[in-house]
């Protein structure tokens, strides 16, 4: 699954005479300054482009340039001894779950000091930006860039996302620390009023790590943390088919993807009988038609679970809901889990969406209950093939404290209490506990999983198509 919920930053030289991070920001975004290098939200990306570039703001004097020390190399803490065994297979499984992978361009690059490359998924436009994946032997971590331009220091463990748009520019410098992308320095330069078409370089305001600086101090700080003279531009050159072929050629992928063929055959055989019985699947007093299928590795063990979706009968009392079936496995065979549902219910006030969280064996159900659109989060985990509740939280509206008439300016979250696993918490603690529960992983909606029909899944499993 791709995804998962989370994001960061790095910036380019504004003095063309010093090259910055290798390019002037040709497009710009009004950027929200992160509060700290440890907690960073993705800046909003606007699709509108502006090719105006800030001009040179001056030169750093030679004696000042001599004061800048060689940028320090950030150690990534090393990686497990098994890292080289499975990185290509992990990337292949990630791409197998990715939505519309053919719309990206790809490359393998080396950012940190180990022998496992990072995988670049270059977006098709500035609004999409890039994803840069790193793998530490246990888990993939994603970096979402703001817009497209970035450079990196090969095996120097630094990546600089430098771009901008409409009078707002930035340089975000990242390193890989203990297998995760970490923002280590950031800068922003911008005009207060980007609606004024006549702004000039003299109107730019410079900030480094949240502190106001002048242009020369900004440039010196950027050069101190990032050596643009050694930087390589990040750019995807391979198509989806080409990157898949390249990854499949790696010995690491061959070793893992071949696996125990007898075990895989046994798993597939157990799925075949279930698929054949899915036309009229009993759920309470109703019959569900499951007619769309996929093989998805929900729990990250390199062996897929069977996923099915379909529809309720027209007379089902909760119209607007979509059913899902996930079949896991354990030592005793296939485990058929309870039917899951999401959608916009025609009765009861439920509005929700189910997501699976790639490689960590968890599901997240995001709910908003009418009439107040009060939020609720349910997190599930797959253990031995069985899906169980892992954690839950919700906002309880105190109806007695509500004003007589709610205006659009009123926030329902001002009138009630947050709960996590049954205990009252404040909003900040709720967010922290939620992110911990989903392991900071971006989910993929179950309704967005690409499925095939019954005959095709039977052929893939090795069963007989056109069977009832």
Q: For residue 293, what are the contacts with CB-CB under 8 A and spacing of at least 6?
A: 275, 278, 306, 307, 308, 451, 452, 453, 454, 456, 457
pLDDT value, residue 34: 38
Q: Residue 149 class from Cβ within 10 Å (0-12 exposed, 13-18 middle, 19+ buried)?
A: buried
pLDDT value, residue 451: 92
pTM of the model: 0.49
pLDDT value, residue 73: 60
pLDDT value, residue 69: 52
The span from the CA of 408 to the CA of 111, in Å, is 47
pLDDT value, residue 91: 92
Three-state SS for 271?
helix
pLDDT value, residue 424: 96
> Which segments of the chain have a pLDDT < 50?
1-66, 68, 79-83, 258-259, 467-468
What are the boundaries of each domain within the chain?
16-233, 261-461
Q: For residue 394, what are the contacts with CB-CB under 8 A and spacing of at least 6?
A: 367, 374, 375, 376, 377, 418, 419
The span from the CA of 283 to the CA of 56, in Å, is 68
| Closest to 327 measured CA to CA, from 257, 263, 260, 275 | 275
């Amino acid at each position: 699954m791709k995804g998962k919920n989370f994001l960061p930053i790095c910036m380019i030289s504004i003095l063309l005479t010093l090259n910055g991070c290798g390019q002037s920001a040709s497009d710009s975004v009004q950027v929200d300054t992160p509060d700290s290098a440890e907690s960073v939200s993705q800046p909003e990306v606007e699709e509108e482009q502006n090719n105006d570039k800030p001009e040179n703001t001056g030169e750093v004097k030679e004696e000042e340039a001599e004061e800048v020390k060689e940028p320090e190399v950030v150690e990534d803490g090393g990686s497990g001894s098994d890292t080289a065994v499975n990185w290509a297979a992990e990337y292949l499984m990630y791409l197998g779950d990715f939505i519309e992978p053919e719309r990206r361009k790809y490359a393998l690059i080396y950012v940190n000091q180990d022998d496992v490359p990072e995988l670049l998924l270059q977006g098709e436009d500035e609004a999409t930006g890039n994803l840069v994946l790193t793998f530490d032997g246990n888990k993939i971590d994603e970096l979402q860039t703001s817009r497209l331009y970035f450079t990196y220091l090969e095996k120097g463990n630094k990546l600089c996302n430098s771009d901008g748009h409409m009078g707002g520019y930035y340089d975000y410098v990242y390193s890989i620390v203990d297998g995760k992308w970490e923002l280590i320095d950031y800068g922003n330069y911008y005009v207060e009023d980007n609606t004024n078409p006549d702004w000039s370089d003299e109107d730019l305001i410079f900030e480094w790590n949240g502190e106001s600086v002048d242009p020369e101090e900004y440039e010196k700080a950027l050069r101190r943390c990032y050596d643009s003279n050694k930087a390589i531009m990040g750019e995807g050159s391979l198509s989806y088919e080409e990157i898949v072929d390249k990854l499949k050629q790696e010995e690491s992928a061959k070793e893992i993807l071949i696996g125990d063929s007898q075990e895989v055959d046994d798993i597939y055989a157990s799925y075949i009988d279930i698929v054949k019985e899915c036309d009229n699947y009993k759920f309470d007093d109703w019959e569900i038609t499951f007619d769309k299928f996929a093989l998805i590795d929900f729990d990250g063990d390199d062996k897929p679970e069977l996923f099915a979706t379909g529809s309720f009968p027209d007379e089902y009392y909760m119209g607007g809901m979509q059913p899902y079936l996930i079949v896991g496995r354990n030592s005793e065979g296939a485990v058929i889990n309870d039917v899951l549902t999401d959608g916009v219910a025609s009765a009861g006030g439920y509005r929700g969406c189910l997501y699976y969280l790639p490689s960590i064996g968890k599901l997240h159900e995001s709910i908003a209950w009418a009439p107040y659109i009060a939020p609720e989060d349910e997190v599930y985990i797959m253990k031995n093939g069985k899906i169980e509740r892992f954690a839950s939280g919700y906002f309880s509206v105190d109806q007695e404290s509500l004003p007589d008439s709610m205006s659009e300016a009123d926030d329902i979250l001002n009138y009630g209490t947050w709960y996590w696993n049954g205990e009252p918490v404040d909003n900040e603690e709720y967010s922290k506990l939620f992110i911990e529960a989903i392991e900071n992983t971006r989910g993929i909606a179950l309704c967005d999983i690409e499925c095939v029909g019954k005959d095709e899944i039977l052929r893939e499993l090795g069963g007989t198509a056109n069977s009832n």
